[in-house]
Structure 1
Amino acid sequence: MRIATMATGGIGGFLAVKLANDGHEVATIARGAHLEAIRAHGLRLDHADGSELAHPAVATDRPEEVGIVDAIIFGVKGDALEEAARACLPMIGPDTVVVPFLNGVEASDRLCALLPERNVVNGVARVSTTISAPGVITQTGAFHSFIFAERDSRPSARIDALRKAINDAGSSAPETDDIDRELWSKFVLFSALSVVTAAGRCTIGDIRNTPELEALFKRAMSETAQTGRALGVALADDLEAQIWSNLLVFPPQGRASTAIDLEHGRPLEIEWVSGAATRLAAKAGIDAPVNAALYAILLPHKHGR
């Protein structure tokens, strides 16, 4: 397959290495020192079992140089979606599939306002990665699962082809019959973890060991789960209990990316996380005071230092 990663950050970089090393023609869209490092030395993926080095077929900051591709792995920060989506247009043909792997639950709808709707699907990534140095992606944690489907979750040949490519490349792309459920199940966890670890300047261990933080996390999580159900998403009845049970075995030093961005003075994705949780709750007629308060606390830091 011809596959482009827009952009080649943690998620796009992880898949670019896996897919390129399995023989696919991968075009990495990047910029600055990261792009120059990929051009000069290739793209490296570091993980607990060692390192993998790939040399993508194309490394560029000009998508128009790539041409039409079969699939675009779309993984950018929420605030960068509009600019990145427009940049994808030269790579999109009638059958190109654009798979968004962004935080939040609104990326697919936002893309449909900018790209042909027939090309846009929906997806959720469960992997912990970051650009640790120019040209280097570091994976923390052993999990790496990429779930995606047509927006209505119906089967399709193009989804099957990309899923097979990712599975054959040594990662995981399981099937789903309800992509909205998958997306919202992650959102319920991430939106709560994001705002609590950021606003509280704390870790998962702190949440587990501080009754007040535990109660805050559970309230934020419950508000978002109630919102999803009110909007017609078929979330499991015991989803909140499942999430808390899973959180008990997460590494205690873990934090959400929002907390790390706040610490380093970087812009925060809060519009598409706690902001979305608050906004969608209002749309659904759900009272969400905890998410609204945490969103307000983080707003002064939205644009970074």
Structure 2
Amino acid sequence: MKQINRTAIIGMGALGLMYGEHIVTALGKNAVAFILDNDRFAKNQNKAFTCNGKKLNLQIKRSSDKEIFDLVIVAVKYNSLKSALATMKNCIGPETIIISVMNGISSEQIIGQQFGMDKMLITIAQEMDAMRDDSDLVYTKKGVLVIGKPTFSDNSKTMPAAKLSTSPAATADENLEAVKNYFEKIQLPFRIEENIMYRLWAKWMLNVGINQTCAVFDTNYKTATTPGKIMDTFVGAMKEVVELSHLEGINLADSEVDNYIRIIKTLAPEGYPSMAQDRKAKRYSEVEMFAGTVIELAAKHGIDVPVNKFLYNEMKKIESEY
């Protein structure tokens, strides 16, 4: 039976730091390492990172220092995924398990095409309100990781066929059991989802709405869930994803829109999601992964998605002024 003893985290954003802090607290500094390329290592090695005001004791390693890890957590922005693949390549061995806590519906396929879908579990990070400001991490809710097995198929509506394994289904069962045992050991909130692709789309639906709306209107969770134009945009963007999900065979229930509005209302009212954080820092956002993908899928099916087109165009205008 697989056991997870050493974890690598790729990415030192809010989620990467939050999960790193959790593992260090549970198992100690040597249980987890942040893997950085040479430039990022030089930038971050002497930083004093904090979590909710307390100093973090983190292990930071260069990607050129070859070490195979049992679990690799990918926690980067979509725009950094290509470079992350190069950063993590020396961490991956035959038995390594990989999970991505990135937004969107495509990171698992991209990582799996590089290292083998048989190493992947589908993972959704939700219900947290973590924010990073320079070297300071703050959160009031750690949320939950939803995990499940990928569907191994050549069908474009599911996961691509696995590489590097003659028995991908058996491998997925073993990987899921290992991660389940590990999360129980470190007491990290999680749940196993049977229909993981449904939940992946549901979380993407939420991000298409909340991330883009808060970024375009430069606002927070409270305003985005207060009746008016801004909330209408938030809801409208999600409903367009629900319509697309039926055309793509995922079939999100209409009730998911209200479910996720309720979740957002439980977060810190003055908090705001990662894309709004990017706008404040004048960083290029993940708009292509959100509205860009919605627009592409809508064109494929011949439907209109006016709310996401509005958000896409507005975000591009904002970024053109950086």
- Which category describes the TM-score, using the shorter chain as reference length? 0.7 to 0.9
Show the counterpart of 1:263: 280
For the 8 Å contact 2:239–2:257, the answer to whether it is kept is yes
Q: Does 1:300 align with 2:306?
A: no
Show the counterpart of 1:151: 150
Q: Offset at 1:280?
A: 2.5
Q: Offset at 1:78?
A: 0.2
Q: Per-residue CA shift, 1:92-139, capped at 9, x if unaligned?
A: 1112111111111111122233322322332111233233343x432x
Q: Which amino acid aligns with 2:107?
A: A
TM-score computed with the length of structure 1 as normaliser: 0.85
Q: Which amino acid aligns with 2:23?
A: L
Q: Per-residue CA shift, 1:226-264, capped at 9, x if unaligned?
A: 112321114234112222344445443232221222123
The one of 253, 256, 280 equivalent to 2:297 is 280
- Separation in structure 2 between the aligned mates of residue 63 and residue 128 of structure 1, nearest angstrom: 29
TM-score computed with the length of structure 2 as normaliser: 0.81
For the 8 Å contact 2:121–2:147, the answer to whether it is kept is yes
Q: Offset at 1:86?
A: 2.2
For the 8 Å contact 2:63–2:88, the answer to whether it is kept is yes
Q: Does 1:107 align with 2:107?
A: yes
Show the counterpart of 2:11: 7
Q: Which amino acid aligns with 1:200?
A: F
Q: How does 1:1-305 map to 2 (within 5 A)?
A: 1-23=5-27, 25-30=31-36, 31=40, 32-37=42-47, 44-46=50-52, 51=54, 53-56=56-59, 59-60=60-61, 62-126=62-126, 127-134=128-135, 136-138=136-138, 140-152=139-151, 156-302=173-319, 305=322
For the 8 Å contact 1:17–1:44, the answer to whether it is kept is no
For the 8 Å contact 1:231–1:284, the answer to whether it is kept is no
For the 8 Å contact 1:197–1:259, the answer to whether it is kept is yes
Identity value in percent = 21
Q: What is the CA RMSD across the aligned residues, in angstroms?
A: 2.5
Gaps of 5+ in 2: 153-168
Which of the pair is proportionally richer in strand?
Answer: 1
- Separation in structure 1 between the aligned mates of residue 63 and residue 142 of structure 2, nearest angstrom: 30
For the 8 Å contact 2:149–2:173, the answer to whether it is kept is yes
For the 8 Å contact 1:105–1:184, the answer to whether it is kept is yes
- Separation in structure 1 between the aligned mates of residue 319 and residue 304 of structure 2, nearest angstrom: 23
